[in-house]
Amino acid sequence: MGAMSVRTQSSEEPAESVHRAGFACFVGRPNAGKSTLTNALVGQKVAITSNRPQTTRHTVRGIVHRAGAQLILVDTPGLHKPRTLLGERLNDVVRATWAEVDVIGFCLPANEKLGPGDRFIAKELAGIRKTPKVAIITKTDLVDSKTLAEQLIAVDRLGEELGITWAEIVPVSATANKQVDLLAELLVPLLPEGPALYPEGDLTDEPEQVMVAELIREAALEGVRDELPHSIAVVVEEMLPREDRPADKPLLDIHANVFIERPSQKGIIIGPKGKRLKDVGIKSRKQIEALLGTPVFLDLHVKVAKDWQRDPKQLRRLGF
Ligand SMILES: Nc1nc2c(ncn2[C@@H]2O[C@H](COP(=O)(O)OP(=O)(O)OP(=O)(O)O)[C@@H](O)[C@H]2O)c(=O)[nH]1
Ligand SMILES: [Mg+2]
């Protein structure tokens, strides 16, 4: 009966006249490729990425504009067993997001066998009955077709075992741009009918100050190991146009603090003769200039915020 009424409606009303708009969130283990996929769908970098787990620390919205549809992607932090107060907060953020979105995209990397981490998330997803779920096999460029086929079967089985009906199972590669457009096409019909929610051309609702801080953190994450990636937080204190500049030669002064947790980490971030910090500045400044479309003077300072990941007061100060 349901199918009948849908058919009747669509024959009376051509598909193009229906506008859809809504939210899809990407969930998955840390490092599954959620942010990279978000950026690929949006067509511009709105979320930072790295090969360190737990890169994303807050939900980032990326907006995908299509004829007749607006798809708002909510990129969430990777879900994991929390070891710190920060970890717990991140997991809370992810769960709160699930309740609000129209469709959930569960990201599973093609190059790693399904593990306890994926199962843990899938079990939670099974509990959210009414929201359609799409399984997204990411990083398909890293595997051969046999491995991919096995992964597709494993994901299908996982759904059956836990009572999840996948609306779709879609293999994609965000870095090789394979099936990324197809994924958008498959997500759109799962959105409710409605007018656009963001102005045409907006790609994110992240404040500029936050995006700038994230680009600095992304540059700072490169090449650091062990616990250090988790210890880094960046806060932009000030962004001001330099005074006395001619109109055709503007310069934006940006002052930012790079926080770490222990004095012993300071040397690693700054590097011998300050070289590492300088590189972080050069690298992120280029990205910030591209983002804002203006020359930038970037002033970076390294500060210790003792054990901030575990300290509620510090967390608040750092924006968590
Ligand atoms: N080869 C390949 N690598 C990818 C692809 N997508 C992501 N990666 C890499 O996988 C790593 C993790 O990507 P992210 O997008 O930061 O992963 P995430 O799921 O957002 O991670 P968290 O924010 O930590 O939860 C990065 O080094 C990416 O470059 C892909 O399609 N192919
Ligand atoms: Mg991420």
Instruction: Give, using CA atoms, the residue closest to atom 2 of ligand 1.
Output: 139
Tokens standing for 97?
A: 């997001």
Q: Is 53 in the pocket of ligand 1 (CB under 6 A)?
A: yes
Residue 63's beta-bridge partner residues?
72
Q: Is 230 in the pocket of ligand 1 (CB under 6 A)?
A: no
For the chain, residues with pLDDT lower than 50 are 1-13
Q: Is 206 in the pocket of ligand 1 (CB under 6 A)?
A: no
Q: Is 78 in the pocket of ligand 1 (CB under 6 A)?
A: yes
Neighbours of 115 (CB within 10 A): 10
> What is the C-alpha separation between 215 and 300, in angstroms, rounded?
13
Contacts of residue 171, defined as CB under 8 A and 6 or more positions apart, other chains included, come to 110, 136, 137, 140, 148, 152, 178, 179
Say how many Å lie between the CA of residue 30 and the centre of ligand 2: 7
Instruction: Give the torsion sign (CA, 235, 33, 98, 206).
Output: positive
116-126 helix and 85-98 helix, angle to the nearest 10 degrees: 40
Ligand nearest to the CA of 29: 1
CA distances from 267 to 128, 168, 262 (A): 46, 48, 10
Counting from 1 in the atom list of ligand 1, the atom nearest the Cα of 138 is 31
Q: pLDDT tens for residues 8-64? A: 344 444 555 799 999 999 999 999 999 999 999 999 999 999 998 889 888 889 999
Instruction: Give, using CA atoms, the residue closest to atom 4 of ligand 1.
Output: 139
Say how many Å lie between the CA of residue 65 and the centre of ligand 1: 23
Counting from 1 in the atom list of ligand 1, the atom nearest the Cα of 54 is 24
pTM equals 0.86
Q: Contact, 267 vs 207, CB < 8 A?
A: no
Longest dimension (CA), the chain: 73
Q: Is 178 in the pocket of ligand 1 (CB under 6 A)?
A: no
> What is the C-alpha separation between 87 and 186, in angstroms, rounded?
32
Radius of gyration of the chain (CA): 21
Contacts of residue 133, defined as CB under 8 A and 6 or more positions apart, other chains included, come to 103, 104, 105, 106, 125, 164, 165, 166, 167
Q: What is the pLDDT of residue 137?
A: 98
Q: What is the pLDDT of residue 81?
A: 80
Instruction: Give, using CA atoms, the residue closest to atom 32 of ligand 1.
Output: 139
228-249 CB burial, b ≥16 within 10 A, e <16: bbbbbbbbbeebeeeeeeeeee
Mutate to test the pocket of ligand 1, among 39, 49, 60, 138 (most ligand atoms within 8 A of CB): 49
Closest by alpha carbon to 181, among 166, 192, 170? 170
CA distances from 79 to 58, 106, 248, 262, 299 (A): 12, 11, 46, 26, 33
DSSP state of 26: E
> Hey, is 141 helix, strand or coil?
helix
Q: What is the pLDDT of residue 11?
A: 46
Q: Is 264 in the pocket of ligand 1 (CB under 6 A)?
A: no
Residue 220 has, within 13 A of its CA and on its CB side, a CA count of 30
Say how many Å lie between the CA of residue 219 and the centre of ligand 2: 14
